[in-house]
Amino acid sequence: MTHMTSQMPVTSQHLGPSGNNRLFAAGSNATLADHERAYGPLPEHCIDATFIGVLEQSGLTGRGGAAFASWRKVSATGQGRDGALLRSRPVVIANGAEGEPLSFKDKTLLLHAPHLVLDGLLVAARSVSASSLYVYTTAVAMPAVEAAIAERRDARRIQVIEAPETFISGQASAVVNAIGGGNALPLDNRRRLSDSGLKGRPTLVLNVETLSHVALIARYGAQWFRSAGSDRDPGTRLVSVSGRGADQVLEVAGDEGLGFVLAHAGIDLSGVQAVLVGGYHGRWVKPLDYRLTPSGPAGQTVRPGAGVLHVLSTGQCGLEATAWIVEYLAGQSARQCGPCVFGLPAMAKVLAAIAGGDRNPKLVGELERLGTLVARRGACHHPDGTLQLIQSALEIFSEDVGAHLTGNCTRMGGRAA
């Protein structure tokens, strides 16, 4: 557990950073010299397709939200290159567009450890013999990335593309669409990007944090990676903590306890009512004895998604907070798919009515009915992510829902419950 901003130990013996301070081991605003001092040189020339096997052993999963096994993604992109004669060379994209307003770990990473991301991008590109490399990120992080690229020879072929500040701009096919010269909107998901992505070429889109882990696995190996975290969730992950106290980015071990992470962020747990884990497409949880891991039994673990932990303090209304988020999400629908374009605003309205004290008993049923209409009916995960958030709110704040519908919510000016 390390605060990004605290004094960071520098590893000089190149056995790999020990403990959980891995990604920021080169310090703040790391230059190429800082970076090489901390991690040693990148064995880039030794990397080929066999690295995919190393990735598999490491057990690394994507840190952008979906937690898909990274080696599978890489291997799907690299596959069949020898088989089909005319198959074009792959594209690899480092995705640093975190449209999620509560997530800032990718920005922080690109600002402070851009070389680690570039290393990871180069390694991934070599393992699939890619010919085009991109970093896709928002305006704030672009100067740091461009400066880092200018510092090194091996990164000259990497192109930096600006991502718009929209919620959906980081969705993988939206990334491909944007780099291809279109809008940053998702594409129909009939074809897989690993078969036909940017300009019809096999395309690998990996989150920038995922790539940073790749860079370290290439240096220190799978066993080193697995020395942190647990068997089902090896390695470390970055989390963005917000809602109480200052926003902060922490690096924590995989499978860490939620309460433990919050306590280390300096948050007084007695003031925590619930935590939104995974961001606007995530879910509310309480109490705090959940473990943060993408795999495990539902009652004991919660998927960290892109690592967002947002605290709802006691005294705040979870329904109001959720209604506000859903309204925002409805506004962020990319206006493409009917059920998402019309269904999300309809759900936002019903939720706002419940949160605002409308006592119509049919509201919850209507919300559920609308939910079945948007589920799995869009080109991207946006409707389903929104649905998951709403469902978790109805579950976690079920007492509040009851209080609102019976007019007993104290905050709403009703009778004391």
The footprint of other proteins (CB under 8 A) covers 185-190, 336-343, 345-346, 349, 373, 375-379
* Contact partner, 157, from ligand SF4, other proteins, none, Cβ < 5-8 Å per class: none
Q: What are φ and ψ of residue 272, in 5° steps?
A: -95, 125
Minimum separation from the CB atom of position 122 to other proteins (A): 33
Question: What are the DSSP E strand ranges found in 175-278?
Answer: 203-207, 236-242, 248-253, 256-257, 272-277
**Which range, of 104-112, 360-368, 380-388, 407-415, touches ligand SF4 by CB under 6 A?**
380-388
Near ligand SF4 by CB under 6 A: residue from 110, 144, 214, 380: 380
Angle of helix 70-78 versus helix 114-127 axis, rounded to 10: 50
- Residue among 120, 293, 132, 294 at smallest CA distance from 207: 120
Least separation, in Å, of the C-beta of 228 and other proteins?
35
User: By the 8 A CB rule, do 385 and 281 touch?
Assistant: yes
* Site of tokens 């220190």: 220
From the number of C-beta atoms within 10 Å of its C-beta (0-12, 13-18, 19+), residue 95 rates as buried
CB of 298 to other proteins, least distance (A): 16
Cβ-based nearer residue to ligand SF4, 49 or 346: 346
Q: Write down the least CB distance from residue 352 to other proteins, Å.
A: 13
With CB cut-offs between 5 and 8 Å by kind, which of ligand SF4, other proteins, none does residue 338 bind?
other proteins
Quote the CA–CA distance of 385 and 83 in Å, as a whole number. 37
Residue pair 100/190 in contact (Cβ under 8 Å)? The answer is: no
- x/- mask, ligand SF4, residues 301-340, rule CB under 6 A, reads --------------------------------xxxxx--x
Site for ligand SF4 in 168-197 (CB under 6 A): 168, 186
Q: Is residue 383 at the binding interface for ligand SF4, with CB under 6 A as the rule?
A: yes
Q: CB of residue 380 vs other proteins: minimum separation in angstroms?
A: 9
In this structure, are residues 186 and 40 in contact, taking their beta carbons and an 8 Å threshold? no
Positions that interact with ligand SF4 (CB under 6 A): 168, 186, 333-337, 340-341, 378-380, 382-383
